Amino acid sequence: MRTLFSLLFISFYACTTTNAQYVFTGLDINPGSSASSPIAMTAIDTLLYFRAQHSAYGDEPWISDGTVNGTRLLKDIAPGTASSAAKSFTGYNGKVYFSAISTNGDELWVTDGNTNGTVLLKDINPGSGSSRPAYFFVSGRKLFFYADDGVHGNELWMSDGTANGTVMLKDIWTGPDGQDPNIDPSFIEINNKVYFIATNGSQVQGYELWTTDGTTNGTQLVADIRPGLATSGLRMLTKYNNKLYFFANAGSPDYGSLWVSDGTSNGTHMAVDPVTGTQIYDGPSSAGLVNNKIPVCNNLMFFGVNRISNQNINNLELWVSDGTPNGTKQLKDIYPGLYGCELDYLHVVDSLVFFFANDSLHGKELWVTDGSTSGTRMVHDIRKQVGFGCSPMFVSPYANKLFFGAYDTSSTTSYADLWVSDGTSNGTKKIKPYGIKGMSGDSRFDPVVCHNNMFFTAWFDSTGIELWVLRDTNYHADTSPPASIHNITDKYECSIAPNPAHDKLKVSWNISYEDAQISIIDLTGKTLLNKPVLAGQNSIEIVLPNISSGIYIVNIQHKYGVVTKRLAKD
């Protein structure tokens, strides 16, 4: 393989705003003007795994730490210009698992980050047939995924990281038929149990709520929400207040509602009655939601609701819920009258939810809410033309702000500009013109935050659509691996309890800080929560955001330095 420097080109672009300086690094993976079109980007520990096109290797897996020297081809799995189409990169037990196409078909692969350590783990559908492993999910000591062995159809599998330990967990739809590969099982873990969406086919139920504890006997139906063969349309499985919330349709008169489950059949019911409660006729909508989860912020769930079904009118507006009928309401009639606000791209950034909406006057523009009616407002009119919105795309939180592609009145090409917002009009700025490719709606191209960098695809110069890295030089999240976490200022003692924590955390310290702030950060460097410490406080209780089990970093930043603690979330 040629040296990295013959494969990559690096360029810098700095933009200074009032509060931040942004440095861009361009990585020309496919040399010249030909595009590498990176997709399937996934942050795992301090590295980005993705696949990209190269004229000599085809469409293959790559790896990057955000630098030229640290960006390289992982392995040419399908030799020559053939493509392995690697995807679904998932970190598990110190290695990375993914699916890729080789002479064995589309099968399960594993890598330790080195070329020689990138190998086929198991040929699940023997020979040239493809098992097409997908929807990887890690829980405890198990890696769950769906695959088709050519005999049982697409079913639930499990792996311990070895070939012998990679087995079908249960043939849920017995016989050669299996789960629809296009239906996301939406795996989620709550209280050491994994919940997902599945069907046993023509036998009894359509697609309904299932659970597994990692054993065949422990893999079973939780509740048949819409009895019989009809499917309840489960979607957006989300952990909230230590219970499972989701959208489902139980049939007339329930055309879609917010449901809740404690993991038992009797404990699975509508959280909000669509008739006697808030009259949600068409129910909660998946429109605008990202990552297949309901956004949770300030201990509230945010989603869209369409209330008009009998008039065949889309009246989608933003709603909020605390899981109770009285606490479920429309936040604001953003587009007054019968028509909806075109709700899109809901993202949580610290204590705010950013989203895009159309108020009938400005077109689809950037909005923000704190969960109150008065706190739901348009942030900035980016495209100041009546009837035209900014056509947002490519939206991602990073460095306590929201980054996105958008068009303003000066946009003259099919490529959007890169913008940033801190939730204020003055803090909403264009930071790099022309280059964000219009790929809205395709999650394969979503930006990814990894080790204090934001990776994204763009066409900013003559190199074509390539991988770019954005760094906010004023943003310094602690992204050290858990093993190296230590207190920077041991003199100022701090404790967190309980640890592991479940839904609440108490942080205590031995002196009273002034102008202090507590942050919870994941291992990719993404800030999940910021909370100020009032003068004179010696302890503070924090309601943990809606995060999965794992290791996180708690930073207590004050004028004397930073105290860093490791937090285990159970």
141 compared with 155, residue with greater pLDDT: 155
HSE-CB of 359 using CA atoms within 13 angstroms? 14
**Pairing assessment for the beta strands 393-398 and 364-369 based on DSSP bridges:** unpaired
Coil, helix or strand at residue 457: strand
Rounded alpha-carbon distances, angstroms, from residue 86 to 61, 83, 110, 236, 548: 6, 8, 11, 26, 25
Q: What is the mean pLDDT of residues 472-484?
A: 58
Q: Calculate mean pLDDT across residues 289-302.
A: 90
Q: Span 532-536, mean pLDDT?
A: 71
For residue 267, how many other CB atoms are within 10 A of its CB? 13
* Cβ neighbours, 10 Å, residue 202: 11
Which pLDDT value is given to residue 564?
72
Residue 560 above 60 pLDDT? no
Report the DSSP pairing between strands 416-421 and 429-436: antiparallel
d(Cα 59, Cα 51) in Å, to the nearest integer? 6
Start-to-end C-alpha separation, the chain: 44
Give 511-527 pLDDT, tens digit per residue: 555 567 788 887 666 77
Question: Which whole number is the average pLDDT over 363-386?
Answer: 93
- Specify the pLDDT at position 201: 78
In the chain, what percentage of residues exceed pLDDT 90?
A: 45
Q: In the predicted model, what is the mean pLDDT of residues 373-389?
A: 90
Check if the beta carbon of residue 453 is closer than 8 Å to that of residue 429.
no
Helix (H) or strand (E) holding 340: none
Task: Summarize pLDDT for 99-140 with one digit per residue, the tens.
Answer: 999 999 999 999 999 999 999 999 999 988 999 999 999 998
> Is residue 147 predicted with pLDDT exceeding 80?
yes
Rounded-to-integer distance, Cα 320 and Cα 371, Å: 7
Residues with Cβ within 8 Å of residue 426, at least 6 apart in sequence: 18
Could you tell me the two tokens for 384? 């100041």
Residue scoring higher pLDDT (552 or 64):
64
Q: Which two tokens stand for residue 134?
A: 């997908």
* Cα Rg, the chain, nearest whole Å: 24
User: How many percent of the chain have pLDDT more than 70?
Assistant: 83
Question: Confidence class of residue 451 from pLDDT cuts 50, 70 and 90?
Answer: confident
Among 158, 161, 163, 160, CA closest to 147: 158
Give CA–CA dist 298/352, Å, rounded.
8
Q: Which two tokens stand for residue 107?
A: 């099968």
Residue 19 confidence class, pLDDT cut points 50, 70, 90:
very low
pLDDT at 274: 59
* DSSP notation for 114-143: SSTT-EEEE-SS-TT-----EEEEEETTEE
Report which listed range, 174-183, 270-279, 351-360, is most confident. 351-360
Predicted local confidence at residue 61, as pLDDT: 96
The pLDDT value recorded for residue 275 is 53
The model's pLDDT over 32-53, given as tens digits with 9 standing for 90+, comes to 788 888 989 999 988 999 999 9
Cα–Cα distance between 149 and 559 in angstroms, integer? 59
With beta carbons less than 8 A apart as the criterion, state whether 427 and 441 touch: no
Amino acid of residue 39: I
Given a contact cutoff of 8 angstroms between Cβ atoms, the answer to whether 464 and 532 are in contact is no
The token pair that represents 422 in the structure block = 């801190």
The pLDDT assigned to 535 comes to: 64
Confidence (pLDDT) at 353: 95
- Grouping H, G, I as helix, E, B as strand and the rest as coil, residue 236 is strand
> What is the model's pLDDT at position 556?
77
- pLDDT given for residue 466 in this prediction: 87
97 vs 423: CA distance, rounded Å? 37
Q: Name the pLDDT band for 437 (thresholds 50, 70, 90).
A: low
Q: What is the average per-residue pLDDT within 86-109?
A: 94
Give percent helix, percent strand, percent coil of the chain, each to the nearest 5.
Answer: 0, 45, 55
pLDDT at 493: 60
List the one residue out of 258, 254, 317 whose CA is nearest residue 288. 317
Q: Is the separation of the CB atoms in 416 and 407 below 8 Å? A: yes
- pLDDT reported for residue 411: 66
Answer yes or no: is pLDDT of 467 > 80: yes
Question: Is the pLDDT at 237 greater than 80, yes or no?
Answer: yes
CB-based contact 240:294 (threshold 8 Å): yes
pLDDT band (50, 70, 90) for residue 479: very low
Per the model's pLDDT, the better-predicted residue between 387 and 487 turns out to be 387
Higher pLDDT: 565 or 107? It is 107
Distances (CA, A) of 362 to 129, 336, 354, 356: 52, 13, 17, 11
Whole-number Å distance between alpha carbons of 172 and 158:
14
